[in-house]
Each structure stands twice: as C-alpha cells, then as structure tokens.
Amino acid sequence: MHTIWYLRTLFLSAILTPVLSNVEKVVFLAPPPSSISTTSISPQLPHLSPQNTKLSTSWTTSFTETGAEHWLVLDNLNPAQRYEARICWSATQPTDFWMRIYTPEEIAAERGLVESVVRYVEDLEVVEDSRDEASGEEEKGRVASRLYLRAWAKAAYFSNDVERMEKPESVDVEIILDPFLLNVFPESLLWTARYIVAVAVFAWFCSGWVCRLLAGLVPDQDKEKKRK
C-alpha cells in the first residue's frame, strides 16, 4: 500500500512541474471617476483599458541606479474593482523592473511628475497609442476612473563590449491589464486554473492505474517480513 502511494506521488510530481517566467506586477483598486483628463497632462501616452488589455512594445533600458523611466495610462477602469498590471519580458533580455501607480490628482498636484510625463513623451521616437481615437475636446470633458503607471527598466547584465554598456539594448515587453473576478482571482488565469485542475484529475486517476501496474512488479515488503 505504501508503495502505491509513493509511486502515485512520484508520478504526479513528474507531470505537475512549476513554470517560471519573467513577470513584474502590481495589484491595485480602481479609484473613483476623475474629471482630470489625460490631455491636461499628456495626450500621447500609451493607454490600457478593460477593452484593450494588452500592449506589446519595446522599452529603453539603462544601467543607472533607477533605470529608464516609462509611463502609460490605465483608463476606463471600473471603480472599486481590483486589477493587476503585469510587465512580461523574455529571459534572454535580463532586466529589472519597478512599478508604481499614481492617481490623476497625485500627478496634477506634483510638478515634478507632470514634467516627468511630458519629458517621457518628448523622448519617444514613435508614439504607440493603443486607445480608440478621440478628440481633445471629448477627452477634456470625459469623467472616468483612471490611473497612471510609472515603470523603471534597468539593464541587468554585464558585457565586455564597451559600446553595449554605454548604450544598453531595449527590452521587448508586454504590458497586461488584468481585472479580478469578484476582486479575488485574475481573469486571465481562469482558463489556466481550469486546465491545471483537469490535468490534476486526469493524472490522479491515471497514476492509480500506473501504480497498480508497477506495484505488481515490486515485492511487498510487509508480506516478506511476515514470512520471516
């Protein structure tokens, strides 16, 4: 009996292996609607919203202590709903990320933050705007729950190539806005959870059949002891 349980556990551990990936995330609650529009700060910032939850782009990096700074807007959120903002990148591009969330009121109240946003937009060579096109007048009068995501990207490698160290390579990132179901579980992981449960159930029943088959090939130690 002990042999069967041991083989079953071994079989399950061989199938259900952990998956590691490069992800940095921040979890937050959407604030009440705000009348402070994005156009009063910067209309060119990339946007994410519940209608457009993914943005694939390339971010500059830096070897400085804080890294290269990046901004984007999380717009049209549902007030009081929990969200998760994730940055995903390849393991072949070693990078350290830091993230922080700001409300429109916090941005407007601190001149340094406004200047940082404006400076970031001015430094962009190509502006990637993932939102639907809207006129500046419509934006000014629009009331919505929105937040600003500020991220820093620091190159996390060393090279003997002097030029590469002076001008680190950009990193390809995918930024994802993920709403929580009932403010408990990330929506994007729902199908993953179903898949894991299905595989676990299948592996459990399959392992029973495999273990019984193998157990017949292994001498029962308890019976051997009784005979002695």
**AA identity, residue 61:** T
Report the first-to-last Cα separation within the chain, whole angstroms. 19
Q: What is the pLDDT of residues 118-137, one digit of tens each?
A: 889 888 754 444 444 444 44
Angle between helices 2-15 and 190-215 (to 10 degrees): 140
DSSP H helices, the chain, are: 2-15, 104-109, 111-123, 136-140, 162-166, 190-215, 221-227
Half-sphere exposure of 153 toward its Cβ, with a 13 Å CA cutoff?
Answer: 23
Q: What is the pLDDT along the chain (228 residues), one digit of tens a residue?
A: 455 455 455 544 554 445 445 899 999 999 999 877 655 566 678 889 999 999 999 999 999 988 999 999 999 999 999 999 999 999 889 999 999 999 999 998 898 998 999 889 888 754 444 444 444 444 555 688 999 999 999 999 988 888 888 899 999 999 999 999 888 888 877 777 666 777 777 777 777 666 667 666 656 555 555 555
